[in-house]
Amino acid sequence: MTDRFAPSDNSSPVCDTDKRQYCGGTWRGIINHLDYIQNMGFTAACEPPLGLEEILTSSDLDFARDGANDAVSLPDVNTTDPFVMQTYGSWIRSLTSVFAIDGLRIDTVKHVEKTFWPSFRSAAGIYSMGEVLDGNTTYTCSYQDELDGLLNYPLYFRLIEAFRDTNGTNGNMTSLSHAMTAIQEGCRDSTLLGTFSENHDNPRFLSYTNDMHLNRNVIAFTLLAGGIPIIYQGQEQGFVGGNDPSNREALWTSSYSTETALYRFIGSINQVRNRDMYANPSVLTTPASVIYSDDHHMALRKGLIVSLFSNMGSTALVYNLILTGHGYQENQVVVEILSCKNSTVAIGGDLQVFVPAGLPQVS
C-alpha cells in the first residue's frame, strides 16, 4: 500500500486506519526504502500502477482524497461490449509499456464476466494474477483458464484454520495437506498461484493469536510451500491489525527496523530459497511435495529444501520426528538453517528432525 509505506520526506504522520484516508505515503517514499525490501531477499514489490501525488495536480489530489466516500458510487461499464473491451485493452497495453510493468495483480476478478479477461490479459502481454476471493478450489481454479495466476485463496483459508489454534480444533495439517493436493490437481498450474497468509483484505495472523512460534510457521509455510510467495507489508514487523481497515497500518510506525526477529527470519528463509532457485531454476515450475503429514505436522520437499511445520505452538515440548521421502542419502549430514543444528540420515533413510517448542524446521 503506497500511502502506508513511506512519505517522500521520511516523516511519520499520524495515520488513523479507521478514517480510511490517504496517509501520505508516496512512490518516492518506497524508492527511498527499497533496501528495506531487498535486504529481506525479495526480488519484486507489488504496488498500485500510478501514484496519485505524482500525476495529478494538487486540486485533483484533494478531490481524490475527499471524494472517496460512501456518497460517490463507482461507475459500472458493460465489459461484454466490444468497444469497452478494446478500450481497456488499449489502456492496459499502454500502461504496461510506459511504466515497464513486470506483472499485474488484478483486483475483484470474479465481479467481471469471465469473457472479458482473456483479451485483457493478452493486451497486457505480461503475467497477470487475479484476485478471486473464494475458498472453493474448483470455482477459483476455473479462473486460471482466463488468467495466468490467481491469489491462492483456497489454500489461504485452510492455512489459517490449521495454524490459528494450538489445539487444532478449527483445522489441522492433514486438511491443509489435502488442500494442497486438490489445488495442484485442480488448477492448471499451481506454481503460478500467489501464496499468502496476510493481505489488506483479511485479518493479520497475529490478530488471531499472540503465539510467535505459530506465526513463524505460517510465514515459513508462505515462503516455502510453492507458488509465488507474497508477504504483506508489516508482516515482517509483527503487526496485529484485525479486519479491514485495522490491518492497513502505516509501516513507518516500525521505524523500518531491520533488527526485529521476524525481519531476520524472513531474510534467512528467502536466502535459502533464492539460492535453491538460482542453482536450479526448474524448482520454480515444480510443485512442492508433501512427504509427511498428521494433524499437527506437515513436511514438504521443494527443490533441495525440506521443511517441517507444526501447529503445536510455543507451549509444545521439545521432541523428535522421523521423516522419510526427503531425498537425502544414507549417512548424509543435513543442516537445519534456522538453528544450525546437524542431523545425519540413518541407514535405511530415516531422518530424525529435532523440533524445539513447535518451531518450523528448514534444511
State pTM to two decimals. 0.92
Query: What band does 250 get if pLDDT is binned at 50, 70 and 90?
Result: very high
What would the grid cell of residue 27 be? 512512490
Does position 181 have pLDDT exceeding 90, yes or no?
Answer: yes
| Closest to 223 (Cα-Cα) out of 171, 164, 159 | 159
Q: How far apart are CA 145 and CA 167, in angstroms?
A: 38
What pLDDT is stored for residue 73 in this prediction?
67
Beta-carbon count within 10 A of 223 CB: 24
Dihedral over Cα of 286, 161, 298, 237: its sign: positive
Q: Please give the average per-residue pLDDT across 50-72, as a whole number.
A: 43
- 107 in catalytic set: yes
The 10s digit of each residue's pLDDT in 158-170 is 999 999 865 555 5
- What is the tens place of the pLDDT at every residue in 19-41? 999 999 999 999 999 999 999 99
Helix/strand/coil for 324: coil
Annotated active-site residue in 3, 53, 131, 148: 131
Is 131 annotated in the active site?
yes
**Which of 9, 107, 145, 185 does the annotation list as catalytic?**
107
